[in-house]
Structure 1
């Protein structure tokens, strides 16, 4: 009963951390955006200055002087339009930065959760409810997941399953002896280890195969599954 409670607690903690992280990111970016926009020059500052020049120099009557003032007014308008576009670009970039930081936080918490889950699986082993081995079809059904194996791999798995039913741990030489039909003393330990490696490679998922077929130091190999879930047809 403690495990579900712990899982729910961790889920609540992760959700709270995610919420606080998103709020912190949004607040930081809002403050940064506010400071940035506050320190940008006024878009109409240039136009206001040109207007002041017009007012203070109403004695400018020649065509060249009037033309110069018109150019200054047009430059002020262009500056205002450019600064407005810069504000839009900055706003869009801030939105992208917010989205990227939130996504990064979500991915980070997801990776941490997966790593924690992987650690729990490595500690507890695979929870197997059924292991059905079909020699005729060279197939093993593990928790209703189907795995096609080679003939040699299925024989190795059958030997391990039979040994597990008897609570035996087999060395590499003993595995090779049972599969090949020879005496274990005449078999090489490396040959049995090679069969185990090929079985794991055939299963494909390295983590699952490493946990399913356990290597007990200085003793040998065994299946880490309950005896009552093993069936062979």
Structure 2
């Protein structure tokens, strides 16, 4: 959720820096249902050591104030995401933090899904490196410039493997039965964003896939060979559980 008005971020930053709480109107649905669009939240001053995972914080991104939940706190930055967003925010430096948002309920956990029967699974490896296919997984090498065009002809569920994905590989449980395509070696976001997948990977909008998953810790990179092995292992476990 964001709040953006000319000079508004400066005003909020000065208010909180002076030790006073600030009222911030938010828009968008990235924190739905914990925070509804149009809600006015209170941002209270907080020091870096007081932050805990699960807190909802306000931070500054250029002239915009972002209101998202903390996932991890690291030495000089934090990892945050909207409750209703599939990708983590780029790392938030300590200097960008404005304060903690009060009176926001915890997200409601979704019930664990039943394993889905898988009829067909293909892993697309984008780029020059083609790892050896593990047992039970069909690999396909895809040229970076052909991804968007070829995706239009794909049936079934398309999954994007990304270090920025909020959900782990176990979220493959949530895909419906039928053909499954997993993309490895792609970055997701807008052209103006950075911090998700360095290395010049091809860029797709997040909505180009049905589900985003990650194979390691938040924002931790996994090379193509390890990613393919992790997908193969996960799919193998699910196939055995569904029998």
Q: Tell me which protein shows more helix as a share of its residues.
A: 1
- Which TM-score applies when normalising by structure 2? 0.23
Based on CA coordinates, which of the two structures has the bigger radius of gyration? 1
- Which TM-score applies when normalising by structure 1? 0.23
